[in-house]
Amino acid sequence: MNSGYAYDAFGRTTTAGTRGLTYFTNDLVRTETVGTDRGTWALDAAGRLAVRSAQTQATDGTWSTTGTTTNHYGDDSDRSVWTSTDGTVGRSVQDLSGSLAAQTTASGGTVLQLADIHGDVIVQQPLDTGVASTVQHYDEYGQQLDATTAATYGYLGAYARTTSGVSGLGYLGARAYDPALGRFLQTDPVYGANANSYVYPGDPVGSYDLDGRKKARSCGFVCSLFTTAIGALVGAVCAPFAGPIVCGAVGGGITGFARYWWTHHGGHGYTIRGAIKATLIGAAIGGFGGAAGKLIKSLGGRVFRGWGDRQAIKDWDKFKKALG
């Protein structure tokens, strides 16, 4: 065991370097302390992180509260709809895919939350032209780069995953995530869901664990057979009505979505944003394949007609007819 880390009887990390942690009975973080700074949480009736108090320690050892943020939820998820920070109201605005698009205030201020394809908020762009934008950079595991300062929504911010202002911990559903380690600080509440109780996906670029419970499933033989069959069936139905590029894009898009759904649904990190991304990538690959097939069909006919005998030409014409 690393000498800089300590765990309680339930496998929860209580000391991580200079960071001290305590927990609620449901394993959510209760306090996070670094030096003379501390963040203290209170839960709502549904057991979610509801009220966060920022505190500082005086020289006599007493703690005083310097700020309070209250999360308000609109459904049974852990995604807050609006917050109140020391009396200032802020609301989270979603786009059509369900991703975080902007933060607004009661006075009308709006700050766009611009994310990259991974879902990290990399630019906070105020609509007020008199206020400068904020640029944020993260590595694949969520560590802040290039003097990036702590922000509520940063790494995976498009999915409304928040970041601690005390030491940069990520709050991913049921567990706290340390980007410096690339690991969770509590054991996985789903027994046997991962090879290691603290592990984060080994491919942090292509995989997510947004709720801290399960990893995405692998697409094995049955999954590959299922998704390929769907794509082939769609391509066959499409063929009489459209060209190979369109049919390839449609079939590829549906195959991409089916594959993503298979590996991520049922608590394995499924998101609307991820589904759209998988569909678009599948459509692009399918469309490219259709274009390549069309080109081969065209060039092949020219070669046969220029150099082949009459039987080869007949065979090629039959092949073209079969392709539609």
Per-residue DSSP letters for 221-283?
Answer: HHHHHHHHHHHHHHHHHHTTTS-HHHHHHHHHHHHHHHHHHHHHTTTSS--HHHHHHHHHHHH
117 and 262 inside one domain: no
pLDDT value, residue 103: 95
Residue at token pair 């678009």: 280
Nearest to 160 by CA among 205, 222, 94: 94
Domain presence at residue 286: yes
| In a shared domain, residues 85 and 35 | yes
Q: Is residue 134 within a helix (H) or strand (E), and if so which, with residue range?
A: strand 134-135
The answer as to whether 198 is a domain residue is no
Query: Does residue 305 have a pLDDT over 60?
Result: no
Buried b vs exposed e over 105-116: b needs ≥16 C-beta within 10 Å? eeeeeebbbbbe
Is 215 part of any domain? no
Question: Is 206 within the bounds of a domain?
Answer: no
Enclosing domain of residue 244 = 221-323
Q: Tell me, yes or no, whether 165 lies in a domain.
A: yes
Whether residues 99 and 241 share a domain: the answer is: no
| Chain position carrying tokens 């009975």 | 25
Helix (H, G, I), strand (E, B) or coil at 132: coil
C-alpha dihedral (303, 308, 311, 312), degrees to nearest 10: -40
pLDDT of residue 233: 74
Structure confidence by residue, pLDDT tens digits, 96-128 = 888 899 999 988 899 999 999 899 999 999 999
- Considering the domain boundaries, does residue 43 fall inside one? yes
Q: Please state the length of the chain.
A: 324
β-pair partners for 89 = 84
If asked whether residues 162 and 20 sit together in one domain, one would say yes
Helix, strand counts (H, E) of the chain: 4, 19
Residues 50 and 102 reside in one and the same domain:
yes
Report pLDDT for 216.
55
- Smallest CA-to-CA distance from 293 within 234, 239, 241 is with 239
User: In angstroms, rounded to a whole number, what is the distance separating the alpha carbons of residues 182 and 166?
Assistant: 18
Find, among 125, 271, 117, 161, the residue nearest to 136 by Cα: 125
Handedness of CA 95, 123, 168, 195 (dihedral sign): positive
Binned at pLDDT 50, 70 and 90, residue 218 comes out as low
Contact 243, 295 (CB under 8 A): no
Structural domain count of the chain? 2
Closest CA to 270 of 97, 75, 103: 97
Residue 275 has pLDDT above 60, yes or no: yes
pLDDT at 162: 92
Same domain, 177 and 249: no
Check residues 116 and 147 and name the one with the higher pLDDT. Answer: 116
Q: H-type helices in the chain, by residue range? A: 221-238, 244-264, 272-307, 310-323
**Triad 235, 241, 247: Cα angle to 5°:** 30
